[in-house]
Structure 1
Amino acid sequence: MQSYHRHLVTHADHPVAAPLSEDSVRVLLDRAMPRDRAPLLLDLGCGQGTWLLRALAARPDAEGVGVDIDPAGIDHGLREAERLGLAEKLRLVTEDASRYPVDRPGDVVLCVGATHAFGGLLPSLEAAAAHLAPGGTVLLGEGFWERPPGPDALRVLGCDADAYDDLAGTVRRVTDAGWTPVYGHVSTAAEWDDYEWSWTGSLARWTLEHPGHPEAPGAAALAADHRTGWLTGYRGTLGFVTLALRRTPPTTH
């Protein structure tokens, strides 16, 4: 019987595990990667290594290192790298990203949709800074409130209203912590819808194609619950911003 790994199924149609289109990913990577040297990219919480695979395909001179706690995602990423002929330039490590030792500094350090692994926005920036080469760029993806959340949104998301700030407040927290945005992308409603329909749809389709699998009933219920929670809870309320950030130089007097 075919094995079931929820994350691989839910992201089968949308391998970027965040509400971002392929074009948005391409532009963000292009803005973040240096043009004057062969870049090393480090993805903290890389999932299946999708961002790194996109970067390596776009920049033949780049190298990538990804860290994630999920061995199934790591194995999938390594197989995909082999298929694309990128395996020699990519290293994926099964490890807790918050405990990954500082080795070779990265020219680009990514943490997109994985700030929970570090305890939130600012702790994620601190962790990324420890791995960042001088003059490097952090690509950070984080949620924010498009509008004040109602009780349904908070219930579905399992958080309090102070879990996120609005967009202006999110950027202000970043700049107050000593970072300068050099680019940013706010996920559009269309990107959110594509992400959520893909997440729930690929899972629902899997249950229909594997009706005898012992995980199918639970997966079908999860797809339905997630779809209802999104549509009646946080759709149009939870936003997502991806920021390209560089360290702000200290002020001299």
Structure 2
Amino acid sequence: MDRHRLSAIAHTHHPIAAPLLGVNVNRLLRRADRQPTARILDLGCGEAAWALQALAHHPDGHADAVDLNRHALERAATAAAERGLADRLTLHERDARSYVPDGDYDLVLCVGSTHALGGFAGTLELAGRHAHPDGVLLIGECFWEAPPTPEALAALGLRPEDHTGLADLVDAAEQAGWTPVYAHVSDTAEWDNYEWSWTGSLTGWALDNPGHPDAAEALAQAREHRERWLRGYRKVLGFVTLVLRRC
């Protein structure tokens, strides 16, 4: 099954591809607000849920949203039209690492997609190039909430050094020239909501489409993901969304 199509189906009921509830998305966007926020960039946008919500906060703003997932971008276009925001959102189907903007942005977002931009350090460097001198970055990244167990590492296919603790993550941001002015650490309820939505959406699609050639694989993928989460990284892998300004 095409991984982009799989991801789009899995995010049917949770278009924000990260463990955050809507109330916290709005809180983070308010904390990132430095009026006027006229230009917004969402790197690795998925269904552009962050960009669309940022536009709802800034009625005079315009957003560019960049992703390789055509299925997710199609959903983003539909959502933008439904919310009356299509004229203020430009979708770019391309690798975010090669995106060349026309000018600087007031707010640059990358939440849950840092792996595609060279990790946390690579994301700070790339996103920072797109932000104007007084611009704000809103970056979401994983960290070890508890010492990684062998089960968690096996489930995630990671090594202990692939993530740091939260304090070291903040230190890395400051060493790169960015300091947090606010942050939100996702709690267990947010993680559970995200993971149950991910696996449940994929499972539900497979059960609703039993004759589809991808149904059996989708069901297997959902089951495997659920097992890796529940028996591996639940309450071990953390997620923080940082509101950053240049220091």
Structure-1-length-normalised TM-score: 0.94
| 1:42 alignment partner in structure 2 | 41
2:166 equivalent in structure 1: 167
Q: Which residue of 2 aligns with 1:66?
A: 65
Q: Residue in 2 aligned with 1:31?
A: 31
TM-superposed deviation, 1:39: 2.3
- Corresponding residue number in structure 1 for 2:15: 15
Q: CA deviation at 1:55?
A: 1.2
| AA matched with 1:117 | A
1:1-253 alignment runs, 5 A limit: 5-35=5-35, 37-248=36-247
Comparing 192-201 with 98-107, which one deviates more in the overlay?
98-107
* 3-state SS in 1 of match to 2:51: helix
Structure 1 letter corresponding to 2:137: V
Q: Which amino acid aligns with 1:8?
A: A
Unaligned runs of 5+ in 1: 249-253
Contact 1:182–1:245 (8 Å) recurs in 2: yes
CA contact (8 A) 1:33 1:107 kept: no
CA contact (8 A) 1:102 1:130 kept: no
Q: Does the 8 A contact of 1:207 with 1:217 survive in 2? A: yes
State the one-letter code of the partner of 1:167: L
Q: Letter of the aligned partner of 1:55 in structure 2?
A: A
CA RMSD of aligned residues (A): 1.1
**Deviation string for 1:107-127 (max 9, x for gaps)?**
000111111112111111000
For 1:59 and 1:132, locate their aligned partners in 2 and report how far apart those are by CA, in whole Å: 17
Q: Is the 2:182–2:242 contact (alpha carbons within 8 Å) kept by the matching residues of 1?
A: yes
Indicate the percent of aligned positions where both proteins have the same amino acid.
49
One-letter identity of the residue aligned with 2:45: C
- Superposed CA deviations along residues 35-91 of structure 1, whole A, max 9, x for unmatched, are 2x2421101100111101111123211211100011111121112111111011110
- State how far apart, in whole Å, the 1-side matches of 2:133 and 2:168 are: 27
- Higher mean alpha-carbon deviation, 186-195 vs 72-81, is at 72-81
Q: Look up the match of 1:251.
A: none
Contact 1:107 1:137 in 2 (8 A): yes
After TM superposition, give the deviation of residue 148 of structure 1 in Å: 1.0
Cα distance change, pair 38–165 in 1 and its aligned pair in 2 (3 A): closer
Distance in 2 of aligned mates of 1:38 and 1:202: 34
Distance 2:116 2:91 in 1: 17
